[in-house]
Structure 1
Amino acid sequence: MPETASAKVKTAIFISGGGTNMAALLYASRLPNSAYEVVLVASNVPDASGLGLAAAEGVGTFARSHQGMSRPDHDAVMEQAARDAGAECIILAGYMRILTPEFTERWQGRMLNIHPSLLPKYRGLETHKRAIEAGDKVHGASVHLVSSELDAGEVLGQIEVRITQGDTPETLADRVKIAEHQLYPRVVNEYLGRANDPEHLLQKIRDLALALPGTHERESHGSPGWRVGTEKSGKYFAHFNDQHHGSEHIALLVKTDSMDELLGLVETHPHAYFKPAYYGASGWIGVILNRSGVEWDHVADWLERSWRNVAPRQFTKLHDAADQF
């Protein structure tokens, strides 16, 4: 059965222990309007108690000890388990392993972590102790994208926790953990929910379209559109469809080479393409954006192909020359 336009993002959670943040994420995923579902809980510690909780809740689990394995080999095993489960995003929740740069690069923008400090302060370990010794008045937690540099990815959200007189690293850690359970599910849901946010999707399309030579934006029939050429004589190569003309989709409309191609794509990939009611008769196809698994390199390829269909030679030559460097 084809996935629906509002399909939830399939998510794998990696843990190394009790999995309290994993539990918070799992239960939050079952609330109304959650943007994600947990399809796997995996661990490098086979007897991690969090695995039992996940199994009791009907979530698939996987475990493989890192003992006796190289870091790249263990990363590969964990990554394959996530892929086998259909995961589109990996969330680290107390996963006490430093991942290889190659692993993090493959999941760039699709791997999140939570760190017990107000980043960029106190990367690494012993964050509670370091905050107290520094005389800080507030401490907290940060959710960030995972990058090849430890605890250095883009911060997506933070929460502050007051440091009180007499706090020890242990008492402070207890309160920060409670705060983490509030922060992590909310930030994950907001971040993954952008797949259905028209403003977010429009901005991504706008950035890709306007990066092509000779392009400008102009509204067409009440929707954003992009043309190549002069303001007076430019030709449209893309339109943004936000559930217009009776469509349920948020989509990019681009030119195909023929009606046969359009109909063939719609028939074989109905979860990814549709024939627009207004533009379809002219050979325009809708590339559905508000669905899980969108490959943005593929969207960019469609934009460039449609742009080439109408762009004056002077602009395509400029683009081809730039590609040589």
Structure 2
Amino acid sequence: MAQRTPVAVLISGSGTNMAALLYASRAADCPYEIVLVASNNPAASGLKLAAAEGVATFALPHKGMDRRDHETALDAAIRKSGARYVALAGYMRILTPEFVAGWDGRMVNVHPSLLPKYTGLHTHERALEAGDGHGGCTVHLVTAQLDDGPVLGQTAVAIQRGDTAETLAARVLIAEHQLYSRCLAALVSRATSPEHLIGEVRSRALALPEADEVLSHGMPCFGIIKGKKFAYVSNDHHGDGKVALLVKVSGPDEQAQLIENDPARYYRPAYFGDGWIGLRLDLGDTDWDAVGSWLARSWRSVAPRKLTSLIDAADAF
């Protein structure tokens, strides 16, 4: 079985969604594992459940602490656990933009409404007051704006005659338990899927001026139309087991320095020589802004002067 992606879960109370994620992870085909359950409430009963199931826990009360100091300690504990993703499961603290940015695209939350309806609290009461036919839940990526990240999945739950906020909440919670694990599994799988990774590179490479794509030696290859190539995507090329972006560098010194600084991520691609570097995309924590910068730099190294001059002139304005 492939190695599972490590996930940390943040809770503040009973942690029923954490438990749902944890028990779903025990399935043989689940692509993630829970490596840490952390809380701002040392009395949270979910911590006891996690410990009983053999999962590491971390608790640090936020009262009396500076918010950033608390988040720094929390972030350090998450990273020490080896987690590559963070799942919020009833974590009742609003996280700062700085904390969220550190897990951009790798932090998820489940919210008890059909977003964009009813962000924040009292979602079931608001759905009932509005006369809605359905309540429901949403799993979404976390951004700095409350309950506003890209939606990964939703489940609608019918509102029945005579429902109260409590009875509706109970059914929505069942839906949350089903939806959250499926969305988390899909998200972590996407991060190492060759098709997804190639698509992410393609969208960035073809956004560059006069860029096109061909197939070269079985690899997607990007270059200037009728010109030189500036990037390849290697997918298990010659059986190396890697999905990687190959881009141009200044020469052997830069290539060696990159590999020395981060040998897990950078490597010398076979058959490409000293002017190229391999950047692993399949480690589960790809910085896509950095990938975009690498592509732009590599494009500039092969683009004709008339193109780069136009870009420079546009940037000057």
Q: Larger deviation: 25-34 or 150-159? A: 25-34
Counterpart of 1:141 (choices 137, 141, 144) is: 137
Q: Larger deviation: 186-195 or 240-249? A: 240-249
1:95 and 1:319 mapped to 2: Cα distance?
Answer: 45
What is the match of residue 127 of structure 1?
123
Q: Is the 8 A contact 1:212 1:319 kept in 2?
A: no
What is the match of residue 195 of structure 2?
199
Q: Which amino acid aligns with 2:204?
A: L
Q: Which amino acid aligns with 2:111?
A: H
Q: Is the 8 A contact 2:14 2:46 kept in 1?
A: yes
User: Within 5 A, what are the aligned runs for 1:2-21?
Assistant: 7-21=3-17
Q: Which runs of 5+ in 1 are unaligned?
A: none
What is the match of residue 106 of structure 2?
110
1:273 aligns with 2:266: yes
1:236 aligns with 2:232: no
2:7 and 2:298 mapped to 1: Cα distance?
Answer: 33
What is the match of residue 178 of structure 1?
174
User: Within 5 A, what are the aligned runs for 1:22-41?
Assistant: 22-41=18-37
1:193 and 1:215 mapped to 2: Cα distance?
Answer: 29
- Aligned-residue offset at 1:267: 7.3
Q: Is the 8 A contact 1:235 1:310 kept in 2?
A: yes
Deviations 1:235-255 (A, max 9, x none): 111112222333322221223
Counterpart of 2:42 (choices 38, 46, 49) is: 46
Q: Is the 8 A contact 2:188 2:284 kept in 1?
A: no
- Aligned-residue offset at 1:309: 2.8
1:255 aligns with 2:236: no
Query: RMSD of aligned C-alpha atoms?
Result: 2.5
User: Within 5 A, what are the aligned runs for 1:296-315?
Assistant: 296-315=288-307
Secondary structure in structure 2 of the residue aligned to 1:18: coil
Identity, % of aligned pairs?
56
Q: Which runs of 5+ in 2 are unaligned?
A: none
1:150 and 1:161 mapped to 2: Cα distance?
Answer: 22
Counterpart of 1:67 (choices 38, 63, 66) is: 63
Q: How many residues align?
A: 317
Q: Is the 8 A contact 1:7 1:292 kept in 2?
A: no
What is the match of residue 87 of structure 1?
83
Counterpart of 2:285 (choices 287, 290, 293) is: 293
Counterpart of 2:238 (choices 222, 240, 245) is: 245
Q: Would the alpha carbon gap of residues 167 and 48 (structure 1) be closer, same or farther in structure 2, given more than 3 Å must change?
A: same
Q: Is the 8 A contact 1:212 1:304 kept in 2?
A: yes
Q: Larger deviation: 140-149 or 32-41? A: 32-41
